[in-house]
């Protein structure tokens, strides 16, 4: 099975970050909407699959199963192609550090993708989770499947929006995106779909099972629970979670993956622009790389 070595992954990651930063805004919006929806689909599946499992009986198996099915989200992002903010928190900074793009491009990319991910996650949360009746509401009959999904969603959201302190959210978000971006990083190493899926599965399962915070996942869980009628928190609590989860995700992805692997493999190397058209970045929407001007 063919694969890239870590130094080759670093070159591919910087090229991917450059391509992402140069995407037209319209493509960032569409790709970001899809990624937000894909992560929300994974969250919805995780709620449905684990609804009704008694924590006293199942213990850690519940969170392990939640993480295993949630890994579908990043698989869809990478294999199908879309733009996920948390993955871009590692790849785009690598392109900046390697002097392929300026900091302005990073700011534009992160800002547009943030809004687009939010729109995609909210669409699935409201239209496909609440309005479609896939998860129940506070008024669902006791003992019904709908009540079980409501209780599971409420438990997840209450823990993140109410129980966790600001510092806890921030630290858990660091761990989350360190693992998420390692999944993206290792998926770049794989040259086939099976290898990419396997590279994604374990880090994503781990971050969910450990209870870490992912800003885009929380763009689904928290609004969906609020719209379902979960008591005890409102939009102020949701925004607080998003703020500290976002800051922690930036540190986890940009520092512990982007900066660390740039230092190990790209620091001091020449910033040669990508020249192979159509090269897959393994983590999102393809953009045509810039071509070198060849002298006759």
**Considering the domain boundaries, does residue 289 fall inside one?**
no
112 neighbors 28 (Cβ within 8 angstroms): yes
Domain containing 127: what range? 6-265
What would the pLDDT profile of 87-144 be if each residue is shown by its tens digit?
Answer: 999 999 999 999 999 999 999 999 999 999 999 999 999 999 999 999 999 999 998 9
Q: Which residue has the tokens 């590692």?
A: 90
Residue 288 within any structural domain of the chain: no
Backbone angles phi, psi at 190, to 5 degrees: -80, 145
What is the separation of C-alpha 177 from the centre of its chain, rounded to a whole number of angstroms? 8
Distance CA 127, CA 113 (A): 21
Total number of domains in the chain:
1
DSSP string, 21-90: HTS-HHHHHHHHHHHHHHHHHHHHHHHHHHTT--HHHHTHHHHHHHHHHHTHHHHIIIIII---HHHHHH
What CATH number is associated with residue 63?
1.20.1080.10
Structure tokens given for 95: 């392109």
Q: What pLDDT is recorded for position 84?
A: 98
For 266-293, the pLDDT digits (tens) are: 998 876 655 433 334 445 544 444 433 3
Could you tell me the pTM of the whole model? 0.91
| Integer Cα distance of 271 and 110 in angstroms | 22
Proportion of the chain in helix, strand, coil states, percent, rounded to 5: 70, 0, 25
Q: Tell me whether residue 291 is in a domain.
A: no
């Amino acid at each position: 099975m063919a694969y890239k070595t870590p130094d080759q992954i670093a070159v591919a990651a910087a090229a991917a970050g450059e391509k992402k930063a140069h995407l037209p805004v319209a493509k960032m919006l569409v790709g970001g909407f899809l990624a937000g929806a894909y992560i929300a689909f994974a969250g919805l599946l995780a709620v449905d699959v684990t609804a009704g499992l008694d924590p006293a009986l199942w213990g850690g198996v519940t969170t392990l199963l939640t993480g295993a099915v949630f890994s579908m989200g990043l698989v869809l992002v990478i294999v199908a192609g879309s733009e996920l903010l948390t993955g871009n928190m590692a790849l785009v900074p690598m392109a900046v550090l390697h002097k392929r793009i300026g900091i302005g491009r990073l700011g534009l990319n992160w800002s547009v993708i943030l809004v687009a991910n939010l729109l995609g996650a909210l669409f699935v949360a409201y239209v496909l989770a609440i309005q479609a009746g896939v998860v129940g509401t506070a008024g669902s009959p006791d003992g019904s499947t709908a009540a079980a999904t409501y209780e599971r969603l409420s438990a997840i959201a209450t823990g993140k929006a109410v129980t966790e302190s600001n510092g806890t959210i921030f630290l858990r978000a660091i761990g989350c995106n360190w693992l998420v971006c390692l999944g993206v990083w290792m998926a770049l190493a794989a040259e086939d779909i099976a290898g990419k899926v396997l590279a994604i599965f374990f880090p994503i399962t781990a971050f969910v099972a450990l209870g870490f915070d992912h800003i885009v996942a929380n763009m689904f869980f928290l609004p969906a629970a609020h719209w379902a009628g979960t008591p005890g928190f409102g939009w102020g609590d949701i925004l607080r979670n998003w703020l500290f989860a976002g800051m922690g995700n930036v540190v986890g992805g940009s520092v512990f993956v982007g900066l660390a692997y740039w230092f190990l493999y790209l620091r001091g190397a020449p910033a040669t622009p990508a020249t192979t058209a159509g090269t897959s970045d393994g983590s999102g929407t393809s953009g045509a790389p810039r071509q070198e001007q060849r002298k006759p």
